[in-house]
């Protein structure tokens, strides 16, 4: 596979992953916005809206990091993934602390925020898993000692006995 076709394949798979996760999470976000508005009125709407934006942004950053690190060394990719994870956790904690300290519960409904965030997170993860399973990505396996196109480690015991003359 040429480098350009591999890049197109990677780009298509990244778009499929993002689309596969975004569609169910956006659907759940809309449902949570409507339900929160019906049950908690304006404060429920603001809580669900804030949760929707937060969750979708949080998980989109993860896919953007994966896109940026696709051509890096595996150790650098792991380091970048760990850094981005811890940075997101720290920023999310700071964001939640700021929201709880600066907003009135009558303005942003906490239960609506929590229920919406959990539902949208479950939808995103389910959609991302489903999209990944549909991709059927083939991973290149490392080449080890091969003889005439057959891997030496895959011979059966009977083939080994025949070779030795037993």
Reported confidence tier of residue 9, pLDDT bands at 50, 70, 90: low
Whether 105 is in a domain gets the answer: yes
Q: How many domains does the chain have?
A: 1
Which domain covers residue 99, as residue numbers? 7-135
Q: Could you identify the residue written with the tokens 């394949």?
A: 9
User: What percent of the chain stands above pLDDT 90?
Assistant: 34
Reported confidence tier of residue 96, pLDDT bands at 50, 70, 90: confident
- pTM of the predicted model, to two decimals? 0.71
Q: Distance between the two ends of the chain, CA-based, in angstroms?
A: 44
* CA–CA gap between residue 135 and residue 14 (Å, rounded): 10
Tokens at 42, concatenated: 């304006």
- Is 147 inside a domain boundary? no
Say whether 147 sits in a helix, a strand or coil: strand
């Amino acid at each position: 596979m040429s480098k350009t076709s591999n890049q197109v394949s990677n780009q298509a798979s990244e778009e499929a992953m993002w689309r596969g996760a975004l569609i169910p999470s956006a659907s759940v976000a809309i449902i949570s916005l409507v339900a929160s508005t019906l049950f908690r009125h304006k404060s429920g709407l603001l809580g669900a809206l804030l949760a929707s934006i937060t969750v979708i942004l949080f998980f989109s950053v993860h896919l953007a990091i994966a896109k940026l690190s696709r051509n890096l060394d595996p150790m650098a990719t792991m380091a970048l993934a760990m850094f981005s994870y811890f940075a997101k956790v720290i920023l999310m904690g700071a964001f939640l602390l700021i929201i709880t300290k600066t907003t009135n519960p009558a303005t942003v409904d906490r239960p609506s925020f929590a229920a919406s965030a959990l539902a949208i997170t479950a939808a995103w993860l389910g959609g991302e898993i489903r999209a990944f399973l549909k991709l059927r990505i083939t991973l290149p396996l490392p080449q080890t000692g091969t003889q005439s196109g057959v891997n030496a480690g895959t011979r059966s015991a009977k083939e080994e006995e025949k070779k030795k003359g037993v």
